[in-house]
Amino acid sequence: MNKRIFCKRKIALRRFGFYGLTLAALVSTVLIPSGDAVAQAASPTAVQSPVPVPGFWDPRRRPERPDTSRITRIRFLTEFDYPPFNYAGPDGNPAGFNVELARLICEELKIECTIQLRRFDTLLQALAENRADAIIASLAVTPETRQRVDFSDPYYRAPARFVAPRDTTLRDALPESLEGKKVAVVGGSAHEAYLKAFFTEAEPKPYRNMEAAREALRKGEADLLFGDGIALAFWLNGTDSGGCCVFVGGPFTESRYFGEGVGIAVKRGNDTLRLAFNWALFRLWEKGRFTDLWLRYFPISPF
């Protein structure tokens, strides 16, 4: 998942019913209302949600809001082709989880924003050329991207999860409970490496791609499937799975294998904007608005 986030990707989510959009133009821009709009009523905080929701904010370490009085507008960039995080809607305007999160950030900061759709492979260069102020496009935080941009705190990760048939008797995925179990996994992936390193008593069954691994689980050739939790959440929630399976254990988020997460990118040295995003993200999480948004897009949470 980490490599698919950073590189231009062949999106597996197209198979899960979120893709079917055509690109009308290379670039499309929509105006995001400023924070003067009436805010939604606050809901319970993320930590109180009955469904697991990612949260990387410590309530004991409240970030301070920087002075944003000189920021009159924030120009966001996102990409066309990574549904449901960001894509061109039926009207050609930006849509998706990242776009709605940008809108909430702008409301919290009370700053007018725009968001523009561009090809993923042009985003970093456009930011470097001052054509935008920030990128919110599921850009992975990696040593390579850190050399080009600074990042806000992460607002989600791509966790690894086990999936088992719905009638499984497993209640957790521990190394001892998976002894002798056949686990379908994509060969050569970080998930296979993690499985071999930490679940040494399990029997990995590598497949050429995730579609083949899912099919092996459905046919009973494997007892479990191990892979990217976000893609698997969409599969479980979609028609392709036929309600066959459920998550078991996890999530597994070790950064050595599954990346440091996803943040909002700004130009190197733009600490005011970076810290403003950190403050707004914390406030959205604290109010429960991040949770509300997450659950709209992830009814079966990858966490």
Mean pLDDT, rounded, for 123-140: 96
Chain centroid to CA 97: how far? 9
Domain residue spans of the chain: 2-157+260-297, 160-258
Q: Does the pLDDT value for residue 263 go beyond 90? A: yes
CA 76, 77, 80, 82 torsion: positive or negative?
Answer: negative
Mean pLDDT, rounded, for 200-221: 95
Mean pLDDT of the chain: 84
Residue 255 Cα distances to 129, 173, 216, 261, angstroms: 30, 19, 28, 8
Mean pLDDT, rounded, for 209-213: 95
pLDDT computed for residue 36 by the predictor: 37
Examine domains 2-157+260-297 and 160-258 and report if their fold is the same. yes
Please list, in sequence order, all residues whose beta carbon lies within 8 angstroms of the beta carbon of residue 211, skipping any fewer than 6 positions away: 15
pLDDT computed for residue 20 by the predictor: 29
Residue 262 gets which letter from DSSP?
B
pLDDT computed for residue 51 by the predictor: 65
Q: How many CB atoms lie within 10 A of CB 72?
A: 8
pLDDT computed for residue 303 by the predictor: 84
158: nearest Cα among 85, 95, 231:
231
Pick the CATH number of 2-157+260-297 from 3.40.190.10, 1.10.260.40, 3.60.15.10, 3.90.1150.10: 3.40.190.10
CB 112, CB 288: distance < 8 Å? no
Interval 225-244: pLDDT, tens: 999 999 999 899 888 888 99
CB 282, CB 57: distance < 8 Å? yes
Chain centroid to CA 228: how far? 11
Cite the DSSP H helix spans in the chain.
2-6, 97-109, 123-128, 143-146, 190-198, 210-219, 229-237, 255-258, 271-287, 289-297
pLDDT computed for residue 50 by the predictor: 60
Interval 2-34: pLDDT, tens: 434 433 333 333 323 333 222 222 343 444 444
Query: How far apart are the C-alpha atoms of 76 and 279, rounded to whole Å?
Result: 17
Interval 64-83: pLDDT, tens: 999 999 999 999 999 988 88
> Is the entire prediction scored with pTM above 0.85?
no
Which CATH number describes the domain made up of 160-258?
Answer: 3.40.190.10
